[in-house]
Amino acid sequence: MPSLLERYRDFLPVTAQTPLLTLNEGNTPLIHVPRLANALGVDELWLKFEGMNPTGSFKDRGMVMAMAKALEAGAQSVVCASTGNTSASAAAYATRAGLEAVVIVPSGKIALGKLAQALMYGAKLVVIDGSFDDALNIVREMGQAHPITVVNSVNPYRIEGQTTAAYEICDTLGGAPDYLALPVGNAGNITAYWRGFTRYFERGHIASRPKLLGFQAEGAAPIVYGQPVCHPETVATAIRIGNPASWSYAVAARDESGGLIDSVTDDEILAAWRDMARLEGVFCEPASAAGIAGLRKLVGAGRNDGKGRFVAVVTGHGLKDPELAVKQFAAPEPVAADLGTVEALLGWEASVAVH
Ligand code: F0G
């Protein structure tokens, strides 16, 4: 399988000079999930499992493009602000490209797996006493004042790379879905999907474009409220963002597609998160369940009739945030290491000894 930049080079800003960087990103599974569809009350549902990318999130699609272009332009170092996944991806691809990476993250709110990644891939990690939005402001200023390339989605190559997920969905399904549901944080991904579907539509690869259904966490829903949120809070730390960089693009994507951007509560996110794992064996990080939580909310309230083909974007892997997963359950107490005790614990009848 050719790399992502090679496969979709006609749709990307790839030139003869662009290094074809890769960690084998993209080509992620599109999983048919009839049990989850039934539980939600929708006809046909697929999960685009972006957690299967090399660093465990959709960010790798944009990062490979941004890093290749940084390399092409002769950059030596890159910087990003992050709620965790962007920093993991930037750190990995910078290493791959032979560039130095600086990542700036809010203190105490980064899922453990993501922190481990940034450290292991060898980024310079700066933890600030502030929010993601504060970190992004610092990064923008650093980009102006120093010879360093910003690889947040304010870098246009990030959005371009992320359009590839829309192409893959259409290529796999043989057309566009009717609806695409996804979480919204800094709003780069909803922007990228709309651009991707639109490009495929304009070049005649698909006959229609989906309605985009974006979901923010209730405590971090500036687009829904129509104003920035100064102190965003949500259990879904990946989308704990109060002033999204791609706000106006997200609103355009929503309106041009005839879709919506709504909010879901933390409880709705956590319920959808558990259901995805228990009903279909798809373990994602909490923020990634916002699309499914939102679909359930819309169909449950009769705001969507559930008819047609739905794709939900599952943005990051469950192993990013193992602490929160384990906290959902009572810790099992160790018991004596013999068959009888295990049988009794499971409520089974004692087995007859075989001699
Ligand atoms: N899901 C996950 C797992 C994310 O990490 C993010 C964003 C989103 C959804 C929202 O995507 O920002 O394009 O609207 N994470 C960024 C980060 C902010 O720093 O990793 P968006």
* pLDDT at residue 6, rounded to an integer: 98
Residue 353 scores a pLDDT above 80: no
Atom index in ligand 1 nearest the CA of residue 191 equals: 13
Name the residue of 83, 247, 324 to mutate for ligand 1: max ligand atoms within 8 A of Cβ. Answer: 83
Atom index in ligand 1 nearest the CA of residue 320 equals: 3
Atom index in ligand 1 nearest the CA of residue 89 equals: 20
- Of the pLDDT bands very low, low, confident and very high (cuts 50, 70, 90), residue 350 is confident
E-assigned strand segments in the chain:
30-32, 44-49, 77-81, 100-106, 124-128, 149-150, 179-183, 211-217, 260-264, 309-314
Token pair listed for 215: 């979901």
Q: Whose CA is nearest to atom 19 of ligand 1?
A: 82
Mean pLDDT of 62-86: 98
- For 286-325, the pLDDT digits (tens) are 999 999 999 999 999 999 999 999 999 999 999 999 999 9
- Ligand 1 lined by 82 (C-beta under 6 Å): yes
* Of 240, 107, 248, 134, residue with least CA distance to 185: 240
Q: Whose CA is nearest to atom 4 of ligand 1?
A: 238
What DSSP string describes 90-144?
HHHHHHHHT-EEEEEEETT-S-HHHHHHHHHTT-EEEEESS-HHHHHHHHHHHHH
For the sheet with 100-106, list strands across it. Answer: 124-128, 100-106, 77-81, 149-150
- For 161-220, the pLDDT digits (tens) are 999 999 999 999 999 999 999 999 999 999 999 999 999 999 999 999 999 999 999 999
Residue 336: alpha-carbon gap to chain centroid: 42
What is the rounded CA–CA span in Å between residue 254 and residue 41?
Answer: 23
Residue 337 makes CB contacts below 8 A (sequence gap 6+) with none
Atom index in ligand 1 nearest the CA of residue 182 equals: 9
- Ligand 1 lined by 315 (C-beta under 6 Å): yes
Cα–Cα distances (Å) from 83 to 10, 87, 108, 327, in that order, read 31, 8, 10, 20
- Ligand 1 lined by 85 (C-beta under 6 Å): yes
Residue 352 scores a pLDDT above 90: no
Q: What is the mean pLDDT of the chain?
A: 97
Mean pLDDT of 326-355: 89
Q: Give the CA diameter of the chain.
A: 79
